[in-house]
Amino acid sequence: MPVPESSDRVALVTGAGRGIGRAVAIALSRQGLRVALTARSAAELAETAQACPADTLVVPADLLDLSGVDQVFDQVEDAWGPVTDLVLNAGTSGSARIERTSDEDWQHTLDLNLTAPFRCVRRAVPAMRASGNGRIVAIASVAGKVGEPYIAAYTASKHGLLGLVRSAAAELAGDGVTVNAVCPGYVDTPMTDATVRAIAAATGRTPEQARDALARKQPTGRLVTPDEVADVVLLCLANPSITGQAINVDGGAVQS
């Protein structure tokens, strides 16, 4: 579904340097949106920008920095005006037994997967309210709906992210602002590559066996592609009647 009035819209994609964030940025750019790209790696952002056919703005930043979110939004607003389409993709994952999950790992996961998105939403909302229009999409996970062993911090952060999405959607629906989440299963991205390496190291399986095990968690028998996730993000940005939803893109693993 094409995004309407795309030439007047300003998108900001966090975690845009690779994986799902890169796929979303390219998809939005192909729709004619001006796309601001942020992540920690300037080199990866430059690669994403090179793949985008329309105007891009590269804004390297660390969203864990207390001033990072404001700095990003300030640069975008100075260049193009207020953000109309916010895609919250930056995040982290990890795996450990509960008793081996340190306070530092727990806090880092919550900070990046939940607190940073909250700060971005808080920063974007005033301009969206004022204009009577806005779109916010968070890349969550099916781990935000069900629990799996060894990922307590990640699962807790994604459950919290869905809570933020639902509450914000209820609050902003009357202001013309939609807020949704896209919940992928295992996606063929660098983050999944890291999961594969961790499984192989912990279990003695080959990387190929570990990747196949993740693929078989989904009834389709394969990993989701980043472009398939990006397609659902575009749907959420285009349709003003979809709000407060958490849409699974997981090959049928979680039916909800």
What does CATH list as the number for 6-185+224-249?
A: 3.40.50.720
Per-residue pLDDT tens digits for 145-171: 999 899 999 999 999 999 999 999 999
State yes or no: is 150 an active-site residue. Answer: no
Cα(64)–Cα(40) distance, integer angstroms: 10
- Quick one: pLDDT at residue 57? 98
Residue 7 predicted with pLDDT over 90: no
Average pLDDT, the chain: 95
- Quick one: pLDDT at residue 196? 87
Domain map of the chain by residue range?
A: 6-185+224-249
> Which residue in the list 154, 157, 195, 224 is annotated as catalytic?
154
